[in-house]
Chain A
Amino acid sequence: MTAATLPFAEPAARLSPLTGLRNAFTLTWRSVLKIRTNMEDLVGLSLQPIMFLLLFTYVFGGAISGGTHAYLQFELPGLLVMTVVFATLGTGLMLNQDINGGVFDRFRTLPIARWAPLGGAILGDMVRYMISVAITLGFGMVLGFRIGTNPVSAVAACLLLLTFALAMCWASALIGMLVKTPQGVQMYGFLAMFPLVFGSNLLVPSQTMPGWLQSFVKVNPMTGLTSAERGLLTGGPVGPPALHSLLWALGIFVVFAPLAVRAYRRRT
C-alpha cells in the first residue's frame, strides 16, 4: 500500500497564530462549560461572597463603623477585592487537576497551539471572576450598598478588578503547576493570600495598626486596589491608588507569567 492511495491530507508544517487563538477560545468554552456543570464550583462561587458579606457586615459593622450601613459602604469595595483574589485560586486548582488528570495528555497529542490550554484556562476564569464580582456587588446592593459615584466609575471599578485578577491568576497558575495535589494548591494559595488580604485596609482602616504593620499595609497591592475601588464606587481619590494597583498588577504579571509559562512547559 502506498501513501497516495490513502485519503489523508499531508500535514501542515506549522500552526497559524489565528488557529492558536481559535484553540484558546475552544478551551475557554470548555472552562465556562465546566463552571456550569460543576455544581460545587458554582455554589462556592456564589455562596462564598454572600457569606462574607453577611458575616462581615453584621459581625464587624457595629464595632468598626458604629453601624452596619456605614460599614457596608466601607467594606464592600474591600470584599470585592477579597472575593476576586480568592477566586484566582481556582485557576491554579483547575490547571493542577488538568495536568494530573490526564486530559492535558490528550491536548498535547493534538496539533494545537501549545499555549492554548493555559490561555483557555485563564480566559475561562475571567468569566468566574465576573460572576463573583456581579454576585458580591448585587448582594451588597440588596443589603443596602449604594454606588455613590456614577455608572461609568462603577464599570471602571469592575474593569480594574478584572485587570488585577488577570495578573494575580498567573501566580495562582504557577502554584498550580509546581504543587503536586489540589490540597497543596489550596494550602500554599491561602498561605500566600491571607497576609495580603488581611494585612491591608480591606476590612478596617489602618490607622489603629502598629507602625510596622502600617508600612506593610501601605505597600500591599491590596491596599491600593481597595482604595481605588472605594474611590470609584463611593467617592474619593482614584488616581494615585489606581496607579498603585495597576503598577502592582503589571509587576505581578511580569514576574509570574513567564515563571508560570516556564513551569507549564516543563510539566507538559
Chain B
Amino acid sequence: MTNAIEASGLVKRFGKTTALAGVDLVARQGTVLGVLGPNGAGKTTAVRILATLLRPDGGQARVCGYDVGRQAHQVRQLIGLTGQYASVDDGLSGINNLIMIGRLLGESRGRARARAAELLERFDLTEAAQRPVKTYSGGMRRRLDLAASLVGNPRVLYLDEPTTGLDPRSRTDVWGMVRGLVADGVTVLLTTQYLDEADQLASDIVVIDHGKVIATGTPDELKDRAGGQVLEVEPASRDRLDRAAAVLASRTGAAPAADPESGLVRVPVADAAVLPVIIRDLDEAGVDLAEFTLRKASLDEVFLALTGGRRPSDDGQPGGDGQPGGDGQPGLLHDNDEIRELERSPR
C-alpha cells in the first residue's frame, strides 16, 4: 500500500452551509500532505472526517486501507490528532493527561508513566509536568496536545494548524518534529494557513477554498502553474537601480519593481531565452551586477493567483511584522524557496 490516506468526493453540510463540496485527498505513505486554505475553507472539517470525529454526508475515506466510517475502530488505532483547539484535560496535570492516554491505549502503569515522561521531556514540559493544565500557556497546551497525539505511536498523524499562535521558535521545533516523524515512516496530514509552512514541510499540497479543491500538486508544480518565474537583479551600485529597471522593462515588456531598500529590481519573466540578452544589455548600459537570480514564483504569489487575492495568512500571522525571525518576512520564504539560481558573472 502506498497511500496512507485516500479520500474521494467528501461532502459535509452543516444545516444550510456546505463545508465540503466534494473533496479528494491523497497522502502517500511516509510523506507530508499539506492542506492549504483560508479560514473557513473546510480544512478542519476534512480532518475531523478523516479522524472519525465526523461522518461525511457523501464520499468515502480510507486510512491505511480502513474505511473511516465502517472501520473506525481500526482507524483509531492508527491515527493521532492535534486539533486547532487543544484536546487536553484542563483539570489534570500534564503528566496525568499523558498517562491517562497511555492507559487507555492499554499500556501498563509503568510503561504509560515512562512514555509520558519521555514525551514531556521531548516537548520541553518536564518542569510543568505536575502542574494542572489550566495553568499552562497557549504554547504549552499546544505542545502537550501534540505529545498526547503521539502517545500511541500513530502511523498517520493529523496536525490541524499545529503552529497557529506559536512563537517562531516553537514553530521551528514543531517543524523539526514533523520531519523526524516522517523520517520514521509516519504519514502527516498538515493543515495550515501559512504558505511557508506548507512549502517547508509538504511534499504534496492540496489547496482548498469554499469546500472545494482548487489546486493540487507538489510545491514546485504549483509554483510553475501560477505564473512561471521571477528575475531578480541587484546592481552593484544603488544609483544604477533606475538604469537596470529600464533595461528589464524594455526586454521583458513587464513593469519591473525597483526596491531601493534592498537594492533589488524584480520582474516576471515569461521566457528564459531573454536572459542572455538582458545580461548583455545591462553590461552595455554600464550596470555591474552583484546578483542575477531567476527563481520560481513563491507560494504566496501562487496563492494570490488561485484564490483571487485572498491570502491564507491574512489573519493570525504569528511573529507579526517586523519581529526578527518572524514568518511574515518575505526574505525567509525566498531563502528557503526552491531557487534556481542563474548567478553568473557577466561574460
Contact = CB atoms under 8 A, between A and B. Distances in A.
A46 B87 CA distance: 30
Interface stretch (A8-16, A164-172, A206-214, A231-239): A8-16
Contacts of A107: 104
B175 interface: no
B52 interface: yes
Interface string B43-79: 0000000011100000000001010000101111111
B116 to A, nearest CB: 13
B101 A110 contact: yes
B76 A8 contact: no
Contact of A105 (B66, B75, B78, B81): B81
Contacts of B76: 109-111
B53 A111 contact: no
Contacts of A27: 100, 104
Contacts, number: 96
B105 interface: yes
A183 interface: no
A204 interface: no
Contacts of B93: 37
Interface in A1-40: 1-3, 5-6, 8, 11-15, 19, 22-23, 26-27, 29-30, 33-34, 37-38
Contacts of B52: 108-109
A109 B53 contact: yes
A152 interface: no
A2 B89 contact: no
A111 B73 contact: yes
B152 A110 contact: yes
A102 B97 CA distance: 13
B100 A30 contact: yes
Nearest to B106: A19
Contact of B185 (A1, A30, A33, A106): A1
Nearest to A31: B91
Q: Size range of the interface on B?
A: 35 or more
Contacts of B79: 109
Interface string B76-118: 1111110101111111110010001101111000000000000
B81 A3 contact: no
Contact of A106 (B1, B74, B101, B103): B101
B90 A112 contact: no
Contacts of A19: 106
Contact of A15 (B73, B88, B132): B73
Interface string B167-206: 0000000000000000001000000000000000000000
B263 interface: no
A23 B73 CA distance: 14
A32 B73 CA distance: 27
Contact of B88 (A14, A29, A103): A103
Contacts of A26: 100, 103-104
Contact of B1 (A2, A12, A33, A37): A2
Interface string B264-292: 00000000000000000000000000000
Interface of A: 1-3, 5-6, 8, 11-15, 19, 22-23, 26-27, 29-30, 33-34, 37-38, 101-112, 116
4 nearest A-B residue pairs (beta carbon): A11-B77, A106-B87, A11-B74, A111-B76
Given A106-B101, A110-B76, A110-B104, 7 more contacts: A1-B30, A3-B1, A12-B77, A26-B104, A37-B91, A106-B81, A109-B79
10 contacts: A3-B1, A13-B73, A19-B106, A29-B100, A38-B91, A103-B89, A106-B148, A111-B76, A111-B105, A112-B104
